[in-house]
A and B are shown apart, each in its own frame.
Chain A
Amino acid sequence: MAPERDKNAIDDREGDLAMSRYADGRDDAFATVYEILAPRLHTFLLRMTRNVALADDLLQETFLRVHRARGSFAKGAKLLPWGYAVARNVYIDHTRTAQTRKEMVVAADDAGVTAADRLISGEGDGEASLAAKELAGIVDAALAALPPNQREAFILIRYEGLSVADAAAILGASDGAVKLRAFHAYEALRAALAARGAGPERAAPKKEGR
């Protein structure tokens, strides 16, 4: 895991520098920015929308906005939180339109059956693959049922691997609020998994405070 983390850190640093060059008007740096940012934002948008075609469209829009707003990328800024924040804005704007609401309903209706099939790899033996798909389907449905602010906090921290501070900056909330949202999401997901007999074996965290 450590070499993978080191590689990610190098990629992140390289991404920051590439975006900085791009912000200074060096258009040739776009390829590097895209290479580092696109896979992560695409997966993020996929998790948020649960719809591959929609995630593709939103990714296009995200990069258009990245291009338009490149001048606001400050020196020393970090590409990933900045990119995620742009992608999140694109997603939010999209969900606000009446047309989108209709699309979301269709996607959500259809997602319970097919989202896991679309998103999960079919590798491995038949039984294991089937179990993995079933588990993915449970998590996917439980994620979709979460309040949006909890869902995005959990996705950014758990799946996108961002720090609480970066997630808080992206969501425009305090570190404590983001941690709380992610924790509530985690509890709801664990409960959903446990209800389907697929709960994690680890004991629940000890509760303190309020």
Chain B
Amino acid sequence: MSAPPEDLDLSLFTDVPDPVVSAPRPPRVVPPATASPTRGTMRARRLAALGLTLAWFVVMLLVLGMSTSMTMMHLSLYAVVPALFGAIALAVALRSGPSGLGSKSRTFQITTLVFPVLLVLVVLLGPRIEHDGFSRAAFVCGDIVLFLGIVPLATALYALRRFCVTGAVWRSALVGLGIGLVAASVNALHCSNVDAMHVAIGHLWPVPVFVLVATLVLRRFAAVK
């Protein structure tokens, strides 16, 4: 098959006649009598989900306790950067885009695939602390991240119901990524182990789990059906 010319003139397509010269009239559709959520309802749901998620994180931090061994450098690398990446992932997933159908597919793909790799690199290139090191506790930290992400994921299922007309798979994956990164960031505020390897593996291994779960579960709720 040949490639189209760089400056393909779409008016060429009119060479191909339209088989539907005179379409039949569309059937009369009665407006559905059942109530459906309006834009205001959807906005209220999203705000409620955001509020509930923030409250959940605050309560969990109070219950688990805040780390006292973090320097500003560690705070930036292990908490602020993941939270920032997570927030960007969520913003990309939820933005309506120029025609109301979300960001371009390339943006979804790049964000989903590049952010986790970039974050691991950022964490690993940060200062190493040898005395704590990577330990079995890393998996416990991962469990905490998973636990922290359960409520945000549940609220996303509620708030994003019938939200995606297109791109439900990628947008759900991005929401999963955002939730995983923010949960990892909150866990970093609690965890006292500031070893780069511990953070890169122990805090971030649940992120692909969230991406996978969101892709499999959230997309079913989020797609317009």
Contacts and interface: CB of A to CB of B under 8 A. Distances in A.
A81 interface: yes
B5 A159 contact: no
- Most chain B beta carbons < 10 A, residue from A75, A158, A180, A182: A158
B2 A207 contact: yes
Contacts of A27: 31
A23 B31 contact: no
Q: For the complex, would chain A's binding face be called helix, strand, loop or mixed by DSSP majority?
A: helix
A120 B22 contact: yes
Nearest to A132: B21
Contact of A72 (B10, B16, B24, B165): B165
B9 to A, nearest CB: 7
Given A136-B21, A190-B15, A208 B40 contact: no
Contacts, number: 214
A59 B17 CA distance: 24
A207 B5 contact: yes
Contacts of A17: none
Closest 7 CB pairs of A and B: A77-B100, A74-B96, A121-B22, A200-B15, A42-B26, A183-B4, A71-B42
Given A71-B41, A136-B17, 7 more contacts: A34-B31, A42-B23, A69-B165, A72-B39, A76-B96, A174-B106, A182-B10
A190 B17 CA distance: 10
Contacts of A5: none
Interface of B: 1-6, 8-10, 12-27, 29, 31-32, 34, 36-42, 96-102, 104-106, 162-167, 170, 223-225
Given A47-B20, A86-B165, A116-B19, A157 B99 contact: no
Interface of A: 23-25, 27, 30-31, 34, 38-39, 41-43, 46-47, 52, 56, 59-60, 63-65, 67-78, 81-82, 85-86, 89, 93, 115-116, 118-121, 123, 132, 135-137, 139-140, 143, 154, 157-159, 164-166, 168-174, 179-180, 182-184, 186-187, 189-190, 193, 200, 202, 205-210
A187 B100 contact: no
A205 B23 contact: no
